[in-house]
Amino acid sequence: MPKDAQKSDTRIQKKNQSAILAAGLVVFSQFGFRGSTLDQVAEEAGMSKPNLLYYFRSKDAIYTALLAKLLENWLEPLRKIDPDGDPVAELLGYAKRKLAMSQNFPRESRLFANEIIQGAPRIGDVLRGELRELVDEIAVIIDGWAVSGRINAVDPRHLIFSIWAQTQHYADFDVQVRAILGDVDPFEGAEQHLEAMLHGLLTP
Amino acid sequence: MPKDAQKSDTRIQKKNQSAILAAGLVVFSQFGFRGSTLDQVAEEAGMSKPNLLYYFRSKDAIYTALLAKLLENWLEPLRKIDPDGDPVAELLGYAKRKLAMSQNFPRESRLFANEIIQGAPRIGDVLRGELRELVDEIAVIIDGWAVSGRINAVDPRHLIFSIWAQTQHYADFDVQVRAILGDVDPFEGAEQHLEAMLHGLLTP
Amino acid sequence: MPKDAQKSDTRIQKKNQSAILAAGLVVFSQFGFRGSTLDQVAEEAGMSKPNLLYYFRSKDAIYTALLAKLLENWLEPLRKIDPDGDPVAELLGYAKRKLAMSQNFPRESRLFANEIIQGAPRIGDVLRGELRELVDEIAVIIDGWAVSGRINAVDPRHLIFSIWAQTQHYADFDVQVRAILGDVDPFEGAEQHLEAMLHGLLTP
Amino acid sequence: MPKDAQKSDTRIQKKNQSAILAAGLVVFSQFGFRGSTLDQVAEEAGMSKPNLLYYFRSKDAIYTALLAKLLENWLEPLRKIDPDGDPVAELLGYAKRKLAMSQNFPRESRLFANEIIQGAPRIGDVLRGELRELVDEIAVIIDGWAVSGRINAVDPRHLIFSIWAQTQHYADFDVQVRAILGDVDPFEGAEQHLEAMLHGLLTP
DNA sequence: TATGAATGAGGATTCATTCAT
DNA sequence: AATGAATGAATCCTCATTCAT
């Protein structure tokens, strides 16, 4: 009955599908799609390889389902920016939420990073569609803030890029960050630095 | 004779080794190590697969040689920071050089990004050794600037992270950046934005 | 209780066994034994795969049961040849009945054809036993007709082969026949041709 | 270099490709496409499975190449029918040539039989194209002979079918034929019977 | 120096069959 | 009587690497 079933999933189906996706996240985020094997995912999920394929048609199906499932959570924080809030507070809040995501969901971040670095073969359409539209909307809001003088003039898209880059860096380049910082917790300094940067940039 | 030979390489050996490394860069930076095949590299290099392995012991050897060869160039700009120069100008200059590298050598950037996201299995030692030391040195310089009041107080390491993150973002997440910007050239806006950010952060 | 049960089958058992055999006929006759999957048979039978195996021990059991069930019907027409009838009429009648079977039960014909072409691994014994004896009996009858001058001298076994070959051809090689004839109904011309051939051969 | 290479095949390539096709004939003709495994073909060809795939892209490619290679030989005898020859002799000659092919190349016959029984998924186009045209041409010739009274009136296509059916029967249904005939050589009686049938049918 | 030929070790996927309910 | 869940044994195919020339 399964094979990517969506409706009327029984308890056990939901449980196993979740287990597989969770395992897929662990494995794919570390080794990328091609670098991962179904054996690894099965091992991590604690079930046999054929049983994996009982729930998902193929390795690709697991990976794609995983991307699709995570994508919405990934864009979510951006939607929370309130046009009627205090501009600097809103943008700082967004940056902090993103940083928290890097701290709490580094694998998700790496999964997307892997995908995008390799040319986003599976989510290119989402990037050029939904994501672009969402960014366009936020850009209008930021532009409005700048025009009304509540923040300095900035290019809204590059502002967003810089927030993404700086926050995701702590998840994606985790090994490098820790190699340099040693035992120091990256995220404390990161938040402070981020705050300072955005303040310096935005406050008129 | 070759097999990773280093001394007394003839002209043709050098030529072929370069061709292989160049091809490796193209292929590995797009598909990652595991996602690339020797067939692809051989095709790109315009020579036969066994001939590849005449010059390099293994697929891994090509990849490792490539990483090693690029690493020095990658760190180079950091060494150029002059303790006796104007602090803001030095840091801005560094950021611009990094941005230029993302523009001119995006594949190199992606190659490293791939490697580090996957846990830096091959260059972890360099990160924890040479890179860390280098960053420590620069950190001392920046700290000196801050103490003497020539720039605002900042965490030098997070400052460096933020420069890396923001500049490499344009190479590593190229597809995403272009998906959002459409036909606009990313690098013009990027440089301006970077400049504004660093100015806002650093100038006392 | 079932698993190839034979006695005391309830109504529902008989119904399901029939459904499975009917489905097996459709699938096996098209793809052969190895080319067919239990999924296909289950789908065609409108029941689940494990339920199939509740009624038949294995895929092989379905196939074998099917062959056995059809075999008797398949030989039946041969038994109907009447030693006391008019020789030419009897043989012509037999040929026409076989042709009608090709028209009405092409899948059964193809099922046997598949089996025999692949060396009759499951019904070789029947061929060498029951079928051979039956043919021997008919051969005696035909020889009798020839000796008494009521038909021309023929080799009775090759006569039977030629009737089998020409009639089953329209079922087994259906695609080829229709490729050549286009929209023309194969069976009209076939019967006439068959009649002409046998008449020419047999009538003294 | 190989992978279905066609031009400039070296000696060893030709040798191996031939060996593979020969092995494929043996295996595929007995078990059909789905029923055969690459292991069997490799074993029969005396080489390793990956080496098979060095010469042919896939199992399917071997099978298709085999069909294509044999098809022409298969149609050849039909082309040899001479419009200016003696009608009965020409047709009898054709039938005998076909019978000889069944005797000498039974595997080729079974290979085609397997394919056509299963719906000719790979050579349907050839049947509806080249074969149909060829048969149409011969039909014109036969019709001409009938109109001029040199043979009895017959439906030329059904005549051809009956020749095909009766001759190929001895290859395709070999096991059955031998089960019935015992130790008697099938082909002696077959030829006589065939001759008698065609004479009875055709001679005015 | 170069390459055609060959292969062992995977790796994704299929499938008949069994298990548990 | 019926089915969702699970799996071991294939089976096709890929790929880094080696061999022979």
Question: Is there an interface between C and D (3+ Cβ pairs < 8 A)?
Answer: yes
> What's the maximum distance between 2 C-alpha atoms anywhere in chain D?
61
Q: Which of A126-135, B4-13, C177-186, D143-152 has the lowest mean pLDDT?
A: B4-13
pLDDT of C11: 80
Q: Taking CA atoms, what residue in D is nearest to C139?
A: D180
Tokens read off for A146:
């700048």
How far the first Cα of chain B sits from its last, in Å, is 60
User: CA C32 to CA A172: how far, in whole Å?
Assistant: 53
My answer on whether D5 and D106 are in the same domain is no
Q: Is A32 touching B (CB cutoff 8 A)?
A: yes
Q: Give every residue of chain B whose pLDDT is below 70, as ranges.
A: 1-9
- Cβ neighbours of D132 in C, within 8 Å: 179-180, 182
Q: What are phi and psi of D172, to 5 degrees?
A: -70, -40
- Give the pLDDT of chain C (204 residues) as one tens digit per residue: 555 555 556 888 889 999 999 999 999 999 999 999 999 999 999 999 999 999 999 999 999 999 999 998 988 999 999 999 999 999 999 999 999 999 999 999 999 999 999 999 999 999 999 999 999 999 999 999 999 999 999 999 999 999 999 999 999 999 999 999 999 999 999 999 999 999 999 998
Q: Does A172 lie at the interface with B, CB-CB under 8 angstroms? A: yes
CB under 8 Å to A134, separation ≥6 — which residues? Answer: A75, A78, A79
Do B176 and B107 share a structural domain? Answer: yes
Say whether both A31 and A127 belong to one domain.
Answer: no
Evaluate whether residue B52 is within a structural domain: yes
Chain B 138-157, CB below 8 Å of chain A: which residues?
152, 154-155, 157
How far is Cα A98 from Cα A92, in angstroms, rounded to an integer? 10
Please indicate whether, in this complex, the C-beta atoms of A127 and B32 are within 8 angstroms of each other: no
Given a contact as 3+ CB pairs under 8 Å, which chains touch A?
Answer: B
Q: B116: which chain A residues are within 8 Å (Cβ-Cβ)?
A: 172-173, 175-176
D7 pLDDT above the threshold of 70: no
pLDDT at position A95 is 98
**Are A84 and A185 found together in one domain?**
yes
D104 and D52 both lie in a single domain: no
Q: What integer pLDDT is reported at residue A4 of this predicted model? A: 65
Structure tokens at B188: 């013009």
**C-proximal residues of D, 98-117, CB under 8 Å:** 110, 113-114, 116-117
**Residue-level pLDDT at D4:** 66
- Closest B-chain CA to A179: B128
pLDDT at B48: 95
D65 reaches C (C-beta below 8 A): no
Per-residue confidence (pLDDT) for residue B8, from 0 to 100: 57
State the CATH number of the domain containing residue D171. 1.10.357.10
Contacts of A2 by beta carbon, 8 Å cutoff, 6+ apart: A9, A13, A17, A54, A55
Count helices and strands in chain B by DSSP H and E runs: 11, 0
- In angstroms, the CA D84 to CA D145 distance is 10
Token pair belonging to B28 = 């590995």
The answer as to whether A64 is a domain residue is no
Tell me whether C83 touches chain D (CB under 8 Å): no
- Kindly write down the DSSP assignment for every residue of D59-117, as one continuous string: HHHHHHHHHHHHHHHHHHHHHT--TTS-HHHHHHHHHHHHHHHHHH-HHHHHHHHHHHH
Q: Which residues, at least 6 apart from D123, have a Cβ–Cβ distance to it below 8 Å?
A: D67, D71, D115, D116
- Give B145 CA → E15 C1' in Å: 70
pLDDT of residue B136: 98
Residue C10: its pLDDT value, please? Answer: 80
Phi first, then psi: give them for residue C2, nearest 5 degrees: -60, -110
Test the A interface: residue of B130, B138, B158 with most A CBs within 10 Å: B158
Residue of D nearest to C185 (CA): D158
Binning pLDDT at 50, 70 and 90, where does residue A110 land?
A: very high
Whether residues D53 and D127 fall in one domain: no
- State the nearest residue by CA to the C1' of F1: C51
d(CA A162, CA A159): 5
All residues at 6 or more sequence positions from D47 whose CB lies less than 8 Å from its CB, including other chains: D16, D19, D20
Is A62 domain-assigned? Answer: no
Across the range D169-190, mean pLDDT stands at 97
At B6 the pLDDT is 52
Q: Are residues D11 and D33 in the same domain?
A: yes
The span from the CA of D149 to the CA of D144, in Å, is: 9
Q: How many domains does chain C have?
A: 2
Q: Do A100 and A93 form a contact (C-beta atoms < 8 A)?
A: no
**A-interface mutation test, from B30, B34, B176, most A Cβ less than 10 A away:** B176
A119–B166 CB contact, under 8 Å: no
Residue D95 lies in a domain: yes
CATH number, domain containing residue B1: 1.10.10.60
**Chain C residue with Cα closest to D126:** C179
- Chain A: give the shortest CA distance to residue B2, in Å: 29
* Facing A201 at nearest CB: one of B119, B180, B196: B196
Domain co-membership, B81 together with B33: no
Q: Do the domain assignments include residue B63?
A: no
Per the domain annotation, does A168 fall within a domain? yes
Q: Are A105 and A195 contained in the same domain?
A: yes
Query: How long is the CA B96 to C1' E11 vector, in angstroms?
Result: 45
Residue A162 lies in a domain: yes
Q: Whole-angstrom Cα distance, residue C185 to residue C178? A: 8
What average pLDDT is seen over chain A?
A: 95
Do D85 and D27 lie in one domain? The reply is no
Q: How far apart are CA A113 and CA D18, in angstroms?
A: 49
Pick from B11, B37, B57: which residue ends a domain?
B57
Q: In whole angstroms, what is the distance from residue A60 CA to residue A98 CA? A: 28
Q: How many CB atoms lie within 10 A of CB D77?
A: 17
Please choose, from the candidates D113, D122, D7, the residue with its C-alpha nearest in 3D space to the C-alpha of residue D62.
D122
**What are the structure tokens assigned to C109, written together?**
């014909």
Distance CA D93, CA D100 (A): 10
Instruction: Specify the DSSP class assigned to residue A124.
Output: H
Q: Name the residue of chain A whose CA is nearest to B203's CA.
A: A200
Bases of chain E below 7 A from a protein C-beta are 1-20
Q: Which residue is listed with tokens 């004939």?
A: D25
Chain A CB within 8 Å of residue B48 CB: no
- Domain coverage including residue B82: 69-202
- The structure's pTM equals 0.92
Q: Which residues, at least 6 apart from B9, have a Cβ–Cβ distance to it below 8 Å?
A: B2, B17
Cβ neighbours of A20 (radius 10 Å):
25
D171: pLDDT strictly greater than 60: yes
Residues C81 and C32 in one domain: no
Of C34, C161, C177, the CB nearest to D35: C34
D34 within 8 A of C32, measured Cβ to Cβ = yes
Is the predicted pLDDT of residue D2 greater than 80, yes or no? no
CA of A39 to C1' of E11 (A): 9
Total beta-carbon pairs less than 8 A apart between chain C and chain D: 171
CA distances from C156 to A165, B120, C87, C138, C149 (A): 89, 82, 12, 8, 14
pLDDT value for D9? 72
User: Are B95 and B124 in a shared domain?
Assistant: yes
| C64 domain-assigned | no
